[in-house]
Amino acid sequence: MKRILLTIMVVVAGLSTIAPDASAQTDNRNTGSAKRQRMMDQWHKDMAEFRARSAEDRQLHALADSLASVQARAALRNQDFVLEADNVQFRNGNTVFVNSSTNFISVKGNRAVVQISPSNYYSGPNGLGGVTVDGYVSELQVKTDSKGRITYSMNVTGIGINAQVEIYMYPNSSQATATVYPNFNSNTVWLQGTIVPYENSNVIEGNSL
């Protein structure tokens, strides 16, 4: 009888030591699951905040583009603008990325300036790596097609220039391209950049021919 009681006591003692271990494992699993859930909840929260910020940024960029477009169109109508070019393409097909402060077409009233300065190593006639010519605007025409694209064409005549200039501005944007057709040779030049009001421009005008 004593042996039976001793055996029962040993079994009960063993169960009492096993039970806390099993409970601890269950607690660990629950704790790990809760931690993973918190991490997932935080990730979803961070993603929602990121999407909200991205949408707000897109709206701000769209608003800025719309405002720049309105200003550019008004500047064109008022003959008071600068096309600041960031790349220039020549007749041979070569395209050069250039400094927009020294490569531009400007119109201020009846005066126009065309400056092409693609070189960083050669000062050129204008002292800025290229050529600057200015003249008077004539035969100005402005057209807007059904898609909102503007074509701004004019003749520029002066001592160093006699050319037809056509500027194309895209709808809902201040981005534009321009083509300069010299009347005395076939050295056509294309410029691409941004149109800004004359007073907002940071261009540097070199010595004209």
Question: Which residue ranges form the domains of the chain, and what is each CATH number?
Answer: 1-209 (2.40.128.410)
pLDDT (0 to 100) of residue 5? 45
CA distances from 61 to 54, 56, 149, 199 (A): 10, 9, 21, 23
pLDDT (0 to 100) of residue 165? 96
- CA–CA dist 151, 177 (Å, integer): 10
Mean pLDDT value of segment 121-145? 91
Q: Is the separation of the CB atoms in 151 and 166 below 8 Å?
A: yes
- CA–CA dist 179, 185 (Å, integer): 14
- Indicate the range of 46-55, 96-105, 142-151 predicted with least confidence: 46-55
- CA–CA dist 154, 145 (Å, integer): 18
